[in-house]
Amino acid sequence: MENRIFITNTFTVENAVNENDFLNISGYCCKYGGVNLNGEAVDANSFNTFFKMRESGQIRPYFNWEHTDTTIGGIDEIKSDENGLFIKCHLTKGVAIVRDMIAPLVISGDLNSFSTEGRILNGYDGIVQLPEGGYYVKDFILLGVSVVRTPACPDAKFTLSNYIREYEERKREQEKKMKWYLY
């Protein structure tokens, strides 16, 4: 069974921005099959309640920087597969911190990790202690995802899907500048 949702805004605006205003990134925000550095273990069943809540419109996860209240873009798609929780997001380059700090680090490959934020339903009754250490989370409600320098799940990496377009644009700009200097 695969859970998948496509997240859309509650209103539609056409032609307000162009695709160059965004950096599209995707990857696993958490992986199944092990205990992360926070001592938590999750699997596909851990997110069943979250997907039901999302489908009914009760929750819409946010996308932020380093677990702060700084929104840096949006989450476009979330799915659970056999490996983990996979997301597609966009960084909004019109946000100053994205334009000036995050985007250059993502494009260079120096920043490439996700981290989940959420709530465990039912407190201590919502977890099971594991014999090898840590605990299994029965019901995890995903509240948001952060771009972070150091993830709790070392495999929570993302890739930049429009890097080639960004590279080609930079290259064209450099060529234009070079032509100016040659004349």
pLDDT value at residue 160: 87
* CATH architecture for segment(s) 3-182: Alpha-Beta Barrel (3.20)
Whole-number Å distance between alpha carbons of 140 and 20: 34
**Residue 7, pLDDT score:** 56
Give the other-Cβ count within 10 Å of 53's Cβ: 14
Q: Give residue 161's pLDDT.
A: 80
| Residue pair 124/98 in contact by the 8 Å Cβ criterion | no
Q: What integer pLDDT is reported at residue 105 of this predicted model?
A: 94
pLDDT for 162: 66
Residue 124's pLDDT is what?
86
Q: Please tell me the predicted confidence (pLDDT) of residue 100.
A: 96
Q: pLDDT (tens digit, 9 = 90+) per residue, 142-167? A: 999 999 999 999 999 999 886 455 55
Kind and range of the H or E element at 100? Answer: none
Minimal CA–CA distance to 81: which of 43, 138, 112?
43
pTM above 0.95, yes or no: no
Report pLDDT for 123.
86
Domain boundaries, the chain: 3-182
Residues of the chain scoring pLDDT < 70: 1-19, 162-171, 174, 177-183
